[in-house]
Amino acid sequence: MYTIILGAPGAGKGTQADILSQEMNLPHIASGDLFRQALEARAEFGLPAKSYMDKGELVPDEITIKMILEKIDQSDCASGCLLDGFPRTLHQAEVLDQALEEQGKSIDKAIYIEVPSEELVKRLSGRRLCRTCQTPYHTINSPPKTPGRCDKCGGELYQRSDDRDETVKNRLNIFFAQTLLILDYYKKQGKLIKVNGNQGIQDVTREILSALKHQCQPEQSGEPLRFPSTGSGRAPVAEFTLSEAKALPQNDIRGEHRQNKW
Ligand SMILES: [Zn+2]
């Protein structure tokens, strides 16, 4: 079973991929981890990938795609894997399909963990890290006992520049503009599963596992509602329809890899 996990920064995609990897006994392939491993192994792609990430730029498609395909071709992925952080553009999704076809494989399901944009902003902008031991905190969900101080080592807590309000909104805008096209792509193939990510971690996992057991309901085509979904109140990020998303620039924009720690 080749499954793609999609979700905005802050939607809990990595957490769910880790849990699902255990539950389904499939390797979890996170594109950020692959870059790091390639670098440690001094593999062909490691250094060029690092130079882009050091500059805060997106690693070019051809490097990313080669690394992912090489990984999928390894024996531990013979019966499937969970892809996390890839594909992130429509072009990558199309290239992935072609390459898998050459290996006699195909993507079975694409799971989208949906969280209202205002909740994402809240989750991301509340993140804090300890300067000394890197323990993560959240001002609302897991606050330290003493504000601004690490429970474990007393170190100072800080907010990464990526998690500041304006940067968060910018990252989300990029994510949504790229992702609506990917969602549309898998929806047309009858492979898209949408789950509610605005609930407890275990509930999200339960919903995904139950949806994977059932056949996807191929969704009716037609112009979807405005994207991304919002709860109540004003959307903190830009909203658009599918045709508007198609008109947005899809390349040459900086993305989520910036946040991967090296
Ligand atoms: Zn600490």
pLDDT at res. 152: 96
How many Cα atoms are found within 13 Å in the side-chain-facing hemisphere of 258? Answer: 19
**Among the options 88, 128, 187, 194, which is catalytic?**
88
Q: Is 36 a catalytic residue?
A: no
- Tens-digit pLDDT profile for residues 226-235: 778 766 666 7
Quote the CATH superfamily of domain 2-259: P-loop containing nucleotide triphosphate hydrolases (3.40.50.300)
Q: Catalytic site residue 127? A: yes
Q: What is the pTM of this model?
A: 0.82
Confidence of residue 138 (pLDDT cuts 50, 70, 90): very high
Catalytic choice (122, 128, 171, 191): 171
Phi, psi of 4 (to 5 degrees): -105, 135
Domain ranges of the chain: 2-259
- The answer to whether 8 and 114 are in contact (CB under 8 A) is no
Determine contact, residues 49/59, Cβ cutoff 8 Å: yes
> Model confidence over 112-136: pLDDT tens digits?
999 999 999 999 999 999 999 999 9
The per-residue pLDDT for range 88-117, each reduced to its tens digit, is 889 899 989 998 898 888 999 999 999 999
Predicted confidence (pLDDT) at residue 251 exceeds the cutoff of 60: no
Q: What is the mean pLDDT of residues 138-164?
A: 93
pLDDT of residue 231: 64
> Mean pLDDT throughout 197-216?
90
13 is catalytic: yes
> Is residue 21 over pLDDT 50?
yes
Would residue 226 show up in a list of annotated catalytic residues for this protein?
no
pLDDT digits (tens, 9 = 90+) for 24-54: 999 999 877 777 777 676 666 666 667 776 7
Distance 199 CA to ligand 1 centre (A): 28
C-alpha of residue 127 to centroid of ligand 1, in Å = 14
Cβ(67)–Cβ(53) below 8 Å: no
Question: Would you call 206 a catalytic residue per the annotation?
Answer: no
Q: Give the environment of ion ligand 1: residues with CB less than 5 A.
A: 130, 132-133, 135, 150, 152-153, 155
